[in-house]
Structure formats: structure tokens, C-alpha cells
Amino acid sequence: MGDEDLLRVSDLETHFFSYRGVVKAVDGVFFNMRKGESLGLVGETGSGKSVTALSIMRLIPPPGRIVGGKVIFQGENLLEKPEEEMRKIRGKRISMIFQDPMTSLNPVFRVGEQLAEVFTQHQGLDKKEAEKKSVDLLKSVGIPDPDRRAKQFPHQLSGGMRQRAMIAMALASRPDLLIADEPTTALDVTIQAQILELIKELKREVGTSMLLITHNLGVVAETCDRIAIMYAGSIVELAKSVTLFKNPLHPYTRGLLDCIPRIDAPKEKLAVIPGLVPDLIQPPLGCKFHPRCECPSDRCSAEKPQFLNVGDDHWVACDRNVGNIRNP
């Protein structure tokens, strides 16, 4: 398993040093990704999913700092690289798209120009070639009338089109890893559907590995091979998509699945996870989820549970599932 991993994150810790105390946004995260697969990172507010992605890209702004762990990408530890080298990696080998395309596209430059920059900077093409490639790229992400659109400014495009343009920009350099942070959350439902279909199509054709961050379990069910559930800074469960939905082991995962209203299976009353997301400055001792758990044992409030493989690449951080460990 180890050598084929595109990305291996071990014990990643990212803290924010605020005036109120140290916010442990990412507190020991372990996961790996193989070439060509898409991994969904799911969590609610404060789970640390976006911070994890930014940590991989080494884009954590002060007062945040990556304080521990390793991020091994294609055999090299990104956390040890000088900024110079990281800049060469970003946008070329690892690309990222964000939730709000209005703020990630520069409003004073035309769309085509911004796209062409990727080609001139990272691939050394001349201006004319780069422009032509940009238009082709816009076409490939389904933007109608790409010649005209390339000459427009971001605000002249709709939300859906801007997001497509962003995806185009991210894929322009044929990165090995694409990180998408809530790419459809700000979009209308029918546009979201278009973008999801586009992502699935690109996945089939281009084969880029993708780390998809979202709070929406429906989105990851549709687009991801494996899913990791995050809570209060750590991954609590990681499994193949089908396995996670069929056999969720962590109480938080189960709680999440039970509390979502479903179109296909309406319920009278939604199951509820009692309590609130914990304070990341002074999280609960032991398992961070135990105050809200339906079935905590004494160990849960004392020891932090280990993240263990319970078989078939299904990992859980919950002591009560220790009994489920089988030989991998």
C-alpha cells in the first residue's frame, strides 16, 4: 500500500494562536490517497476540514501554524520544503478550487487572461498559444461560446460559469492532485448538479486525484470513492464510500446520517446529535465526541481513541469498536 500512495498525511497538527488561547484546528489527522482516487473530507463547521486542505498546500495564514506531522506527496514531505519550491508545486502539481469563485478570480482581469497565465507561467507557452489553449479549456468544462466568455470579466459570468472557469484553471496544468473546498455549496441546486456531473466526467476522462471537502454527504456519495469524516480536528472514520453508508461505525457518523432529512425517505422526526460542537481551545478530554455520544464508556472520557483499521480499509477512532478489529 505505502509506495503507491499519492499523498500520505500523518499526525498533522495545525494550531491557531489566538488571544483567547490556542485553537487546535487540526489535531492529529491521518489519511492517505492513491493515484486516481477521489477522497471526500466531510465535516461540519469547526471540524478542521478546510484547515487540513490549506495545511497540505502550506497556505495557513498567521496566527495559524502547522506545528507537527508529515505531508508526504509523491514521496516528498511538503512540510519540509522551502517556500520557493512550494510555489512551484501549487497550481502545477497540486491545484485548489474554492467555494466562492468571485473571490478567487481576480475581478480586474479577463477570464481568458487569468487562464492563460497558467500556461505561460507553468508551461512556458507564448501568449498566443496560451490564449488558444484557454479557450479550448473553457470549452472542455462546458462553457458555451468560449471565445466570447474568455474576453469577459468574472462578474459578467454567472456563479456556475465562474466555478467552471475555476475548475478549468485548476486542471489547466494537469495537476496530480486537485483539492476542491466546498465547490458547489454557494451554487443553486440545478447548477450544483451541472458542476457535479462535470466533476464526475472529468474524473473519468482526466483521472486526476481529488480531495473534495464538503459538509454535504449527498455530494460525496455521488463523487467520491472513499470518505473521511472529521470532527473537532481529527478524522473519526475513513472508509470506502459504500462501506461508510452501509456500515457506519463511529457514533458521530451514524448521528450525521440519521439527522439528515431525506427526499427519498421522509421521516417524522429527525434523530438529533445532542449538544454543541466542542470548544477547540479546551476540547473535552479523551474522545472529543464523548460528551455527545449515545454510548460512551469510561475509557472514552479518559483516553483519546486510536485510529485503527477494522478491516477492508475501514478505519475508526472509537474505543467501543475495538472489538470489531479483524486482521486486515
Partner 1 sequence: MGEVKERILGLRKERLERLATLNPETKLTLSLLRRSPLAVIGISMVTIFAFIALLGPYLAPYDPYQLDLSVRFSPPSAGHWFGTDGEGRDIFSRVVFGSRYSLVAGLVPVISAVILGVILGAIAGFKGGKIEDLLMRITDMFLAFPSTILAMAIAAGLGPSLENAMIAMIAVWWPSYARLVRGSVLSIKETEYVEAARATGETDINLIFRYVLPNALSPIIVMATLDIGGAILTAAGLSFIGLGAQPPTPEWGAMVNAARIYAIEYWWLPTFPGLAILAVVLGFNLFGDGLRDALDPRLRRI
Partner 2 sequence: MTMALMEIASLRKHFPIKTGLWGEPKLVRAVDDVDLTIEEGESFGLVGESGCGKTTLGKLILRLLEPTAGKVSFDGHSLFDLGKEEMRRIRKDLQIVFQDPYSSLNPRMTVRDVVGRPLELHGVVDESEREKRTLDLLEKVGLSREQASRYPHEFSGGQRQRIAIARAIGLNPRFITLDEPTSALDVSVQAQILNLLKQLQSDLKLTYMLVSHNLSVVRHLTDHVAVMYLGKIVELARTPELFERSAHPYTKALVSAIPIPDPETRRQRIVLKGDVASPIDVPPGCRFHTRCPYTKDDCKSEEPKLQEFTSEHLVACHFAGDFYS
Give the total of residues touching partner 1 (CB under 8 A): 7
Instruction: Please tell me whether residue 90 adopts helix, strand or coil conformation.
Output: strand
DSSP annotation of 18: E
Q: Which three cell numbers stand for residue 57?
A: 498546500
- Residue 18 interacts with which of partner 2, partner 1, none, CB < 5 to 8 Å by class: partner 1
Measured from the CB atom, the residue of 128 and 246 that comes closer to partner 2 is: 246
- Residue 92 interacts with which of partner 2, partner 1, none, CB < 5 to 8 Å by class: none
* Amino acid identity at 234: S
* Amino acid identity at 62: P
By the rule CB under 8 A, 103 interacts with partner 1: no
Minimum distance from residue 318 beta carbon to partner 1 (Å): 31
Residue 105: C-alpha distances to residues 141, 150, 164, 249, 300 (Å):
16, 13, 11, 40, 45
Residue 39: closest CA among 159, 179, 186, 246: 179
By the rule CB under 8 A, 189 interacts with partner 2: yes
Measured from the CB atom, the residue of 45 and 327 that comes closer to partner 2 is: 45
Of 57-65, 81-89, 103-111, 251-259, which part binds partner 2 (CB under 8 A)? 251-259
By the rule CB under 8 A, 2 interacts with partner 1: no
Alpha-carbon gap, residue 301 to 157, rounded angstroms? 51
Of 14-22, 37-45, 77-85, 152-160, which part binds partner 1 (CB under 8 A)? 14-22
Of 5-13, 102-110, 120-128, 218-226, which part binds partner 2 (CB under 8 A)? 218-226
Task: Please list every residue from 22 through 51 that binds partner 1, using CB under 8 A.
Answer: 23
Alpha-carbon gap, residue 30 to 41, rounded angstroms? 12
Minimum distance from residue 160 beta carbon to partner 2 (Å): 6
Interface residue with partner 2 among 127, 136, 147, 260 (CB under 8 A) is 260
Q: In this structure, are residues 164 and 141 in contact, taking their beta carbons and an 8 Å threshold?
A: yes
- Residue 19 interacts with which of partner 1, partner 2, none, CB < 5 to 8 Å by class: partner 1
By the rule CB under 8 A, 272 interacts with partner 2: yes
Q: In this structure, are residues 308 and 319 in contact, taking their beta carbons and an 8 Å threshold?
A: no
Which is it for the CA torsion 316, 254, 187, 232, positive or negative? Answer: negative
Tallying the residues shown for the chain, one arrives at: 328
Residue 53: closest CA among 83, 92, 91, 14: 14
By the rule CB under 8 A, 325 interacts with partner 2: no
Interface residue with partner 2 among 255, 278, 283, 286 (CB under 8 A) is 255
Task: Please list every residue from 304 through 323 that binds partner 1, using CB under 8 A.
Answer: none
By the rule CB under 8 A, 280 interacts with partner 1: no
By the rule CB under 8 A, 124 interacts with partner 1: no
| Cα Dmax for the chain | 67
By the rule CB under 8 A, 20 interacts with partner 1: yes
Strands of the 209-214 sheet, one edge to the other: 94-97, 177-181, 209-214, 38-42, 226-231, 234-240, 315-316, 308-309
Minimum distance from residue 73 beta carbon to partner 2 (Å): 27
By the rule CB under 8 A, 256 interacts with partner 2: yes
Instruction: Please tell me whether residue 98 adopts helix, strand or coil conformation.
Output: coil
Strand partners, 278: none
Burial of 27 (0-12, 13-18, 19+ CB in 10 A): buried
Q: Contact positions toward partner 1, by CB under 8 A?
A: 16-20, 23, 63
Residues that bind partner 2 (CB under 8 A): 44-45, 144, 158, 160-161, 188-194, 196-197, 215-219, 221-222, 241-242, 245, 255-257, 259-264, 266-267, 269-273, 276-277
